[in-house]
Amino acid sequence: MRLEHISKIREGQILGKNILTSDGQILLKAGVNLSDVYINKLRNLGVCYMYIEDEMLDDVYVEDEKLTELKQIAMKSISSIVGKLYYGNGKGFEKAIAPVQDMMDYILNMGDVNKSLYDIKTYDNYTSIHSLDTCVMSCFLAITSGVDSCDLKDVGVGAILHDVGKTKIPIEILNKKTRLTYEEFEEIKKHPLYGVELLKKNFMISSRIIKVVEQHHERVDGRGYPYGLRDKQITKFAKIVCICDVYDAVSNDRVYRKKFKLNESYELILSGSGSAFDKQLVLDFKNTFAIYPLGCHVKLSNNEDGYVIKQNQGFPDRPIVRVIPKDTGNISCFHEIDLLYNTNVVILKII
């Protein structure tokens, strides 16, 4: 299947990957024949890209149905988790968090990072979707960085809860479309402390999870908040969630700005190595996540274009690209370029 901008989608094409609602449920299921009505509705909901079936890319499969199912269950539990924390109700917290742990166990044992990210979804409920996506990314990064399987729970739960303190921030500040005033930004900067306040009401939550919530906006150069901690003063788990939080946040539309391009989001993380982010964890990030999703249409510097069909681990900008000549009309007439070995060719952009 291939990933295309919605402006290139035509009636009659077959949806290749589920499209999710703002609460993580399936809005449109893979295999649906796309009509103009569906396409226009998705455009109005803010969907920019979607996967469609394509015979020339039938070996590119990006849907992990089991993980999608686990995400849906975990998504349903997030509001319950936040509610219990907000009202200081520790009873039933372990049961509420269990679906998140099941998802993390699956990622640890069966997860394929190339089939786990880049979900196609609407963004009416940014905070919950962002928390779930940050959790998934954090689990993959934690595994690469050598976090013990027994400790993965604290990383994932910390990621799910990292923004829980925003429930105490006035909604008019969170949803403000114009530049925040100094006073409003100072209030936003308190959300890690509000989160700690909520978490400490629940004796079931470990101190390591609390540290993730408290420190996920700290930076290794000391320019973060709320305390201005530096490097070793920040826990590894918080550093992991920090990277994934920033990457996911800038990769998605917000009320006050449009999302970054995929390569720009990636470059932001790399450029922050040693200043905003831990150097080793940025290297682990490169060894975990690719810039260009499987199936995406890219323009090459040799004036050809094609589709990403496979990633080269550790080389996020050097995937294998399948090039289909436009003048042959024969989908079986293609060649593949492994950019890891064809170093004179680079990807210029996503088409």
How much is the pLDDT for 299?
93
Check which CATH number belongs to the domain holding 27 and give it. 3.90.105.10
Q: Is 46 contained in some domain?
A: yes
Mean pLDDT of 86-101: 81
Q: Is 160 contained in some domain?
A: yes
Decide which of 237, 266, 286 is a domain's last residue.
286
Choose the weakest-confidence range: 47-56, 81-90, 120-129, 313-322.
120-129
What is the C-alpha end-to-end distance of the chain, expressed in Å?
16
| pLDDT(142) > 80 | yes
| pLDDT(125) > 80 | no
Q: Is 78 contained in some domain?
A: yes
> Residue 101 has which token pair?
């742990």
Say which residue, 258 or 226, is predicted with more confidence.
Answer: 226
pTM above 0.75, yes or no: yes
Confidence of residue 239 (pLDDT cuts 50, 70, 90): very high
Say which residue, 259 or 216, is predicted with more confidence.
Answer: 216
Say which residue, 257 or 3, is predicted with more confidence.
Answer: 3
How much is the pLDDT for 329?
53
How much is the pLDDT for 255?
53
How much is the pLDDT for 17?
86
- Please give the single-letter amino acid code of residue 313: Q
Query: pLDDT per residue over 11-47, tens digit each?
Result: 999 998 888 776 667 888 889 999 999 999 988 887 8
| pLDDT(52) > 70 | yes
Decide which of 38, 57, 76 is a domain's last residue.
57
**Same domain, residue pair 39 and 162:** no
**Same domain, residue pair 251 and 321:** no
Q: Is 234 contained in some domain?
A: yes
The alpha carbons of the chain give a radius of gyration, in whole angstroms, of 21
How much is the pLDDT for 257?
57
CA nearest neighbour of 248 among 165, 138, 153:
138
**Same domain, residue pair 144 and 253:** yes
Q: Is 291 contained in some domain?
A: no
Mean pLDDT of 47-76: 85
How much is the pLDDT for 279?
97
**Same domain, residue pair 175 and 313:** no
**Same domain, residue pair 210 and 339:** no
**Same domain, residue pair 275 and 332:** no
**Same domain, residue pair 199 and 342:** no
How much is the pLDDT for 154?
94
**Same domain, residue pair 133 and 219:** yes
**Same domain, residue pair 13 and 149:** no
Say which residue, 80 or 289, is predicted with more confidence.
Answer: 289
| pLDDT(328) > 70 | no
Average pLDDT, the chain: 87
Please list, residue by residue across 239-275, b when 16 or more beta carbons sit within 10 angstroms of its beta carbon and e when fewer do.
bbbbbbbbbbbbbbeeeeeeebebbebbebbeebbee
Check which CATH number belongs to the domain holding 260 and give it. 1.10.3210.10
Confidence of residue 327 (pLDDT cuts 50, 70, 90): low
Mean pLDDT of 235-242: 98
How much is the pLDDT for 90?
67
User: What residue numbers bound the domain in which 18 lies?
Assistant: 2-57
Q: Is 143 contained in some domain?
A: yes
Burial class (CB in 10 A: 0-12, 13-18, 19+), 125: middle
* H helix or E strand, kind and range, residue 128: helix 126-144
Say which residue, 321 or 115, is predicted with more confidence.
Answer: 321
**Same domain, residue pair 162 and 228:** yes
- Distance, CA of 188 to CA of 349 (rounded, Å): 35
How much is the pLDDT for 66?
86
How much is the pLDDT for 202?
75
How much is the pLDDT for 298?
92
Say which residue, 79 or 132, is predicted with more confidence.
Answer: 132
Choose the weakest-confidence range: 87-101, 118-132, 178-192.
118-132
Query: pLDDT per residue over 181-211, tens digit each?
Result: 999 999 999 999 999 999 988 767 899 999 9
- Distance, CA of 171 to CA of 255 (rounded, Å): 12
**Same domain, residue pair 143 and 15:** no
**Same domain, residue pair 121 and 185:** yes
Q: How many domains does the chain have?
A: 3
- Distance, CA of 78 to CA of 197 (rounded, Å): 18
Decide which of 233, 266, 286 is a domain's last residue.
286
- Distance, CA of 84 to CA of 201 (rounded, Å): 10
